[in-house]
Structure formats: structure tokens, C-alpha cells
């Protein structure tokens, strides 16, 4: 299974910080933590079953999906490097 992983940045609007969203095949799965919060500099899952980590000093990401129904686990890159 080949995933298409992209990062989308939203426009900053009055009173709302700019979001960086991680998407897999068009599904928004996580957002980047806001500055000056405990989540700053990390990926925060917004869909169940997803885990995202920065690797290689933030140059790459590691993504794992665990299907909540079947328990099937898929990692990207395949085999996963944490």
C-alpha cells in the first residue's frame, strides 16, 4: 500500500493561528502543535488510530496507523524507522 503524504498550511486569520496539517491520501490526520504550548514542535493526531513522530531531526516523519476495528498496523516508511 503506497500512501500519499502531504503537509498543508492554512492561512492565518484574525484570532486563529496558522495550522500545519498532515494529510494521508487527502485525509487530515494530524496538526502541528501550536507554539508556546506543551504540544509545540510535535504532530498531534486528529483522527483515531494515527501516531506521528519526527525522525532524523525533523527532516522526515514516521507514521503508523492502527485500524481500531481489525487491529491491523501499517507504518510509513514501510517497516518504520523511529
Give the 3-state secondary structure of 17-71. CCCEEEEECCEEEEEEECCCCCCECCEEECCCCEEEEEEHHHCEEEEEEECCCCC
pLDDT tens for each residue of 7-18: 888 877 777 778
Does residue 81 fall inside a structural domain? Answer: no
Segment 35-62 mean pLDDT: 89
Segment 75-82 mean pLDDT: 61
Structural domain containing residue 46: 5-76
Does residue 71 fall inside a structural domain? Answer: yes
Does residue 82 fall inside a structural domain? Answer: no
**Total-model pTM:** 0.78
pLDDT tens for each residue of 50-74: 999 988 777 788 999 999 899 999 8
Does residue 37 fall inside a structural domain? Answer: yes
Three-class SS state of 13: strand
Number of folded domains that form the chain: 1
Does residue 65 fall inside a structural domain? Answer: yes
Amino acid at each position: 500500500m503506497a500512501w500519499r503524504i502531504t503537509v498543508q498550511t492554512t492561512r492565518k486569520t484574525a484570532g486563529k493561528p496558522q495550522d500545519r496539517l498532515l494529510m494521508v491520501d487527502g485525509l487530515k490526520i494530524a496538526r502541528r502543535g501550536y507554539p508556546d504550548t506543551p504540544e509545540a514542535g510535535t504532530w498531534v493526531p486528529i483522527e483515531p488510530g494515527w501516531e506521528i513522530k519526527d525522525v532524523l531531526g525533523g527532516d522526515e516523519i514516521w507514521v503508523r496507523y492502527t485500524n481500531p476495528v481489525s487491529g491491523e498496523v501499517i507504518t510509513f516508511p514501510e517497516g518504520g524507522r523511529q
